Amino acid sequence: MFNRSKLKTKRDAHSSQWQDYQYKLKKRDATRQSFRRIPLYAVLLTILILAGQCIFILLDKTLATQNKKYPKIFTEHTEIFDKHTLQKFFKKIPFTSVSEKNFDLTTRGTTYQIKSSIDSCLQEFIIDHIDRKNSKYFGFIAMEPATGRILSMVSYDKNDKDSNICLTSEYPAASLFKIITAAAVIEKCGFNCNTPVTFNDNKYTLYKTQLKDRTNKYTNHITFAASFAGSVNPVFGKIGKNRLGKSTLENYAAAFGFNRTFNFEIPLNPSTVSISDNPYNWAEIASGFNNTTLISPLHAALIVSGIVNNGKVLEPTIIDKINDHGQVVYHRHSREGSDIITSYTANTLKKLMNKTVESGTASKSFSRFKKDKILSRLNIGGKTGSINNNAQHLKYDWFAGFAEEKNGSTKIVVSALVVHQDYIGTRAASYSRMAIKEYFQNYYANIHDQQEKKSAAL
């Protein structure tokens, strides 16, 4: 008898085996497909990672730009300062009346550890030697020309102890401007130390008749070096009026930093010069025979620094480093400016400035310096400047110069302004001589001490 139930059971078993077989085939195919897609997945993952990195870099650059454009001085986390920030932060830093190189400064609830570039010995020496009896104003700057680091900044104001004369651009430049005129005539007219020049009448006056190119039996014949060393106004007046003119004087004044702001840690107003279309004014500006060309002692030092650096001026700095609880928030960086004059012009100017010290207007203050134990080892040059304010009974007295080793690489630039009142006290050139000797005397003493320690160690 035919058994239908057994037949159905066999059919169901066969169908189940077939379904299991088909399922295994599909699973194996799916696994193979998954393995085949692994390279594609890897490529996609790599693309996603690279895209994420690009987005992160763009965000990081955007935030850095925003922080640079809008510096946040006080945030929950300490930020890095730059000079622009410090100008707002430290409007008045007590450098001019103290000799400490390093000190703490508390401002807006935060105490910062300041490490300055001040030479404590030189700073204290200048402070102790200020002629307070005969000086209404006094400003002194010493700096390293190769780095722009200020070694000394001393200020004295008889009526305002908080003012900083060194950074005040309110004092007539007087004959210091002859440096700019000399640079221009060397480059534009081919002048050198031995170029013959002439003048009539008094060398310290500037009448219109003295600006004529005339020669008679009263005419004085000298060299350009002698006219610079002696600060002869008619010679430089004729150069300004008859040879250079308005535009050249303006261009060289701008190159040497007039009418522009220097980037410094403390706010520094620009020195100013204004030249009219009147040819006689060109003579006044070129010779420094006016009260309208204004300059600060720091700027005067920067002008000489550019000469000593073969035509390159560095931005001034007085702060080497600032710490906030062990974290450095500011560090000094020297930044060179563009060439203001050629190296030939710079060397010629240095020779002219040598003559000023050797036989010119600063020779009395530097008398017998070639026989001095310290100063004889140096090449020294400078430029004086003086002009009166008769209405206030004031006499402005300048010296801006340099000293460099004859057999070495150490150099220093100095700038001194003394505004005498009723009587002439210590002259600016005398302060400069004292400062140069003090600095190099300490420098050579330190070298000697180091050599003795080295010998003892051996």
Mean pLDDT of 180-194: 98
Q: What is the mean pLDDT of the chain?
A: 86
41 has pLDDT over 70: no
- Report which secondary-structure segment, H or E, holds 279: helix 279-287
Q: What angle do CA 315, 320, 324 make, to 5 degrees?
A: 130
For 202-235, the pLDDT digits (tens) are 999 999 999 998 899 999 999 999 999 999 999 9
Q: Which long-range contacts (CB under 8 A, 24 or more apart) does 440-446 make?
A: 440/374, 440/375, 440/377, 440/378, 440/403, 440/405, 440/410, 440/412, 441/374, 442/119, 442/121, 442/122, 443/410, 444/374, 444/377
- Report which secondary-structure segment, H or E, holds 425: none
In a 3-state reduction of DSSP, which class is residue 329? strand
Q: Which residues share a beta bridge with 295?
A: 171
In the chain, domain spans: 120-175+243-457
Per DSSP (E only), the strands in 117-233 are 135-143, 150-157, 171-172, 196-199, 220-223
Lowest mean pLDDT among 77-81, 94-98, 283-287, 398-402: 77-81
| pLDDT at residue 390 in the model | 87
Q: How far apart are CA 306 and CA 301, in angstroms?
A: 9
Sheet containing strand 102-107, strands side by side: 102-107, 110-116, 319-324, 327-331
Tokens of 458: 């051996």
Distance of CA 96 to the CA centre of its chain: 18
The structure's pTM equals 0.81
25 has pLDDT over 60: no
Q: How confident is the model at residue 455 (pLDDT cuts 50, 70, 90)?
A: confident
* The CATH classification of domain 120-175+243-457, taken from the options 3.40.710.10, 3.40.1410.10, 3.90.700.10, 3.40.50.720: 3.40.710.10
183 has pLDDT over 60: yes
| pLDDT at residue 7 in the model | 44
Lowest mean pLDDT among 51-55, 74-78, 271-275: 74-78
| pLDDT at residue 314 in the model | 87
The residue type of 78 is T
Higher pLDDT pick, 338 / 49? 338
